[in-house]
Structure 1
Amino acid sequence: MKTTMARASGRTAGLWSLSLLGVVTLAPLAVIAPMWSALGTGAMALAVAGIAQFRLSRVGKRCDKLSQEVGILSQRLLALEEAKQAGPAAPATDGLHSDIQELTVEIGLLSGIVRDLSGVVRSQDSEIAGLRAQVVAAEARTAILPAPAPRPPIAAATVARAPLIAPPVEPSPAFADLQAQHEPQPLPPARIPPRPIPPRPASHPVGPGEGAILAAFEAGRVEVYLQPVVSLPQRKVVAYEALARLRIEDLTLEPEHFLPALERHGRTTELDRRMLHRAGTIVRHLGRRGSDARVTYALSPLSLFEPGFLKDIARIAGDDQALAGLEIALPQESWRGLDAGQLGLLAALRGRIGFCLDRPDDLRFDAGELAANSIGQVKVPAALLLRPTTPLSRLSDIAVEDLAPALARARIRFVVTEVGNEADVPDLIDLNIPYAQGTAFAPARPVRGEILSDPSPDEPPPPQDDPTPERRPFRSVLRRAG
């Protein structure tokens, strides 16, 4: 992808440099010799068109080659599906699944390359259109420029006193108006979406160094805090969000204080694995108590690019129905940037683990697309909903008060987070917000250690040395006596 961006930037710079050189060279020539200026402009246009046509032909050949490779991969995939339908043995089935996953990843990579090539083609089309507009403007300027008037004879004494540098020639009003109308506008470069990276704080707060943070992480001092999600206006607890905290001596660090250090050392994926394991233990504990409250944990976007991470989540989930109350949350930008391979791995988790969208950049939610990705919950900060600062072009087409009912019709929960002011609660109720979360309702509290150390449901309960006698009703005792 970086190589493609470099090539696209080099081509764009080359074309613009050529066009700028032509304008600088031909603009003075248009005043002195309009005919030669028109001929030079036409020659430059032909040269640029030839270069652009040559590059487009090369891009077309690459696209054809990629299409052939995709066709070969499709044939392999069809052959594997036919082999699967033929009913092979169990070991062959395992190999078939692994081959299908590899093919899915390869198709995802090829689709990304095709998207990059399409971006390069679009940028070249825009450059050609801009150069054509410049040629038309130059021809129009040449057509309306008046012929230079004959100069009167200059005396020898005047020539002797003439300065070496001539004063600048003032352009005519018609030339200035036409130049303002046909001034070429800068073309936006083709945008290729980068990998989503979570925002980092602008300045690191004063606290423990990276060495102390990594030592505490390796020592297993990661704690789990739960913050409840309540219903409005009843304020009944319906769900929880699991939050990671790192304890260093007497300090308890929040994620924004220690996550940058873990990201720089590549330990965020290990943190997500530990938190998911503990969140699953909390879900099982709530299920044994008869509670249907769900537990959500927000994954780091960098963990999606860790090889085998999503497969580890599928292995953790397995066929354990108790983990149906666990949800993993991803940022809006990550959901929009998933490739084919990642979507296939997430599709394998449907029905075992729930999905959530949080940390949005705007309110443009498509309920149908969210439901197709099995997203059952959307979390939006209160500031983005009540005090939006996004431009009008990024606002939702649906009114704010109709956003929650529209998602509810698709069976998607709409939760407003970071509610820290009690005065915002009546405004949320007026906007038909069904669920909310924040310090205005309850702060995040640590989970007791005995909950996280509960035995798994597969382990049998320990035997009791002195079992309590069974209590029978008095009528059964009389019936036996009779």
Structure 2
Amino acid sequence: MLRFLGRHAGLSAFGVVAAVVLGPLAVFWPGAGALALALLGALGALAAHARATALRVRCDVLSREIDGLSKRLLRAEALAAARPEPDQSGLTAEVSDLGVEIGLLSGIVRDLTAVVGAQDAEVARLKAVAARAAASAAPMPTPAAPPAAPRVVPAEPARPVAAPPATPPPVPAAAVRSLPPRAILPRPEPLPEAALVAAFEGEGLEVHLQPVVTLPQRKVVAYEALARLRAGTDLIVPEDFLPVLERHGRTTELDRRMLQRAATVARHLGSRGSEASVTYGLSPLSLYEPGFLRWLARLVGDESGLAGRLVLALPQASWRSLDPEQANALAALRGKVGFALDRPQDLRFDGIALARVGVGQVKVPAGLLLRPDRPDLADIAVEDLVTALARAGIRLVAQAVEAEGEVPDLIDLDVALAQGSVFAAPRPVRADVLAAPPTAEPPEPEPPQRRPFRSFLRRAS
């Protein structure tokens, strides 16, 4: 109310005065009152018209200002739309390259830790061997003869003095020292590393296949491709040449060559109408090699003949330590190749998690199944392990079955697949199978351009 009176105080005062004046005037002089009221109405109309005119002028001014503001806003929007957005593809590529380098560095640090630990163990073993050799080569100390106790000889009449003693003569100390030490058989002299590397770079790499059979029928359903290195007349197993190739950085090249040959064998089996698959145990170091998984994706491509016939086996430790980039690269290969878990450290298998990443087989040594070193190697009983994995669609394969007596025990555990020398030893692949023309591969993509980290931060900001 006060606000209303404050804004219209003049009109209110004029109305009050008009009422006070016109009231008595209308009573005593009606004509004059009517005339005064008409004049007052005319004055009010003129005032209202003037006020409306002023308001219309102000509205016109406001309309022009709003029109100007709208034009400026439209001009700003047009400029913002015409301005090109910053190219985010280069930044995304640099972030991806940086993630690859970080993963590679973490893998290198992990590998260095493993190599240093292995070297420390080897140094400790060599020191122990040297200590044992020194102890065996040292002359044995001559045992000191105990002091002779005085003998009490009863008196005998007329005993010759020169008679020989009744006790045998003591063994001289020289006879004790003449015993030769126990001979230590020397270990076979290993081939020099240069010879192993030369054989690998030449034509010394061979592919041997060992069948995987069903139990108890012993029907061959799959094969495992095993690498062998032939140097002259010697056939060298991976336990002897893999450490050398790791020190020389050749494990990824070994995996590339073995995978190419395993794919050739799988195609050959498919052309003969066989449903058998070929498994190859991949080195964990190859996962950290930039571009290896992309090369593998190009190798299998969209070739339907290899779908499910080529199986990649990774160690249990590698499946547990996959980084996001490796997991995505392996996920892109699902449906083109199969996956398996081998070289387990324990029997703690999460079947649901393994099935989620595409693992279809778990390969466990028969000794670990039948004779576990510690009871804490598994979360469940070994008898229930096959059933738990089967619920997730994973098959258990018993490896390294070396004795016929182990087969009934594996059958009692419901193990359906087995592999080992008791069924068949690894045999080399014929040369005519590997001589099949390889499929054409797309060229290697250019490696991403390396840029300093400062440039990456500058673009990110």
Q: Structure 1-normalised TM-score?
A: 0.55
Aligned match of 1:417: 399
Give the Cα separation in 2 of the matches to 1:205 and 1:326. Answer: 37
Aligned match of 1:260: 243
1:329 offset after TM fit, Å?
0.8
1:300 offset after TM fit, Å?
1.0
SS at match of 2:348: coil
Aligned match of 1:432: 414
1:242 offset after TM fit, Å?
0.1
Alignment deviations for residues 139-198 of structure 1 (CA, whole Å, 9 cap, x no partner):
xxxxxxxxxxxxxxxxxxxxxxxxxxxxxxxxxxxxxxxxxxxxxxxxxxxxx9778959
- Answering whether residue 424 of structure 2 is matched by residue 442 of structure 1, we say yes
Aligned match of 1:276: 259
Structure 2: gaps spanning 5 or more residues = 1-86, 126-186, 441-461
Question: Do the aligned partners of residues 241 and 111 (structure 1) sit closer, same or farther apart at CA in structure 2, a change above 3 Å counting?
Answer: closer
Aligned match of 2:356: 372
Is the contact between residue 104 and residue 290 of structure 2 (CA under 8 Å) also seen in structure 1?
no
Is the contact between residue 245 and residue 252 of structure 1 (CA under 8 Å) also seen in structure 2?
yes
Is the contact between residue 362 and residue 390 of structure 1 (CA under 8 Å) also seen in structure 2?
no
Aligned match of 1:211: 194
**2:294 corresponds to which of 311, 327, 339:** 311
Among all aligned residue pairs of Structure 1 and Structure 2, give the percentage whose two residues are the same amino acid: 56
Aligned match of 2:271: 288
SS at match of 1:352: coil
Aligned match of 1:234: 217
1:99 offset after TM fit, Å?
7.1
Is the contact between residue 104 and residue 340 of structure 1 (CA under 8 Å) also seen in structure 2?
no
Aligned match of 1:406: 388
Question: Do the aligned partners of residues 284 and 103 (structure 1) sit closer, same or farther apart at CA in structure 2, a change above 3 Å counting?
Answer: same
SS at match of 2:328: helix
Give the Cα separation in 2 of the matches to 1:450 and 1:438. Answer: 26
Is the contact between residue 418 and residue 437 of structure 1 (CA under 8 Å) also seen in structure 2?
yes
Is the contact between residue 196 and residue 334 of structure 1 (CA under 8 Å) also seen in structure 2?
no
SS at match of 2:225: strand
Is the contact between residue 279 and residue 313 of structure 2 (CA under 8 Å) also seen in structure 1?
yes
Question: Do the aligned partners of residues 207 and 283 (structure 1) sit closer, same or farther apart at CA in structure 2, a change above 3 Å counting?
Answer: same
Alignment deviations for residues 225-254 of structure 1 (CA, whole Å, 9 cap, x no partner):
000000001000010000000111111101
Q: Which deviates more from structure 2 when the two are superposed, residues 449-458 or residues 405-414?
A: 449-458
Give the Cα separation in 2 of the matches to 1:101 and 1:320. Answer: 29
SS at match of 2:210: strand
- Answering whether residue 324 of structure 2 is matched by residue 340 of structure 1, we say yes
Question: Do the aligned partners of residues 454 and 255 (structure 1) sit closer, same or farther apart at CA in structure 2, a change above 3 Å counting?
Answer: same
Give the Cα separation in 1 of the matches to 2:372 and 2:97. Answer: 38
SS at match of 1:443: coil
Q: What amino acid maps onto 2:387 in structure 1?
A: P
Question: Do the aligned partners of residues 216 and 193 (structure 1) sit closer, same or farther apart at CA in structure 2, a change above 3 Å counting?
Answer: closer
SS at match of 1:329: strand
1:454 offset after TM fit, Å?
1.7
The two structures, once aligned, show a CA RMSD in angstroms of 3.1
Give the Cα separation in 2 of the matches to 1:197 and 1:449. Answer: 37
Q: Number of residue pairs matched?
A: 286
Q: What amino acid maps onto 2:361 in structure 1?
A: Q
Aligned match of 1:455: 437
SS at match of 1:383: helix
1:338 offset after TM fit, Å?
1.1
Give the Cα separation in 2 of the matches to 1:383 and 1:196. Answer: 28
- Answering whether residue 310 of structure 2 is matched by residue 326 of structure 1, we say yes
Q: Which has the larger radius of gyration?
A: 2
SS at match of 2:346: coil
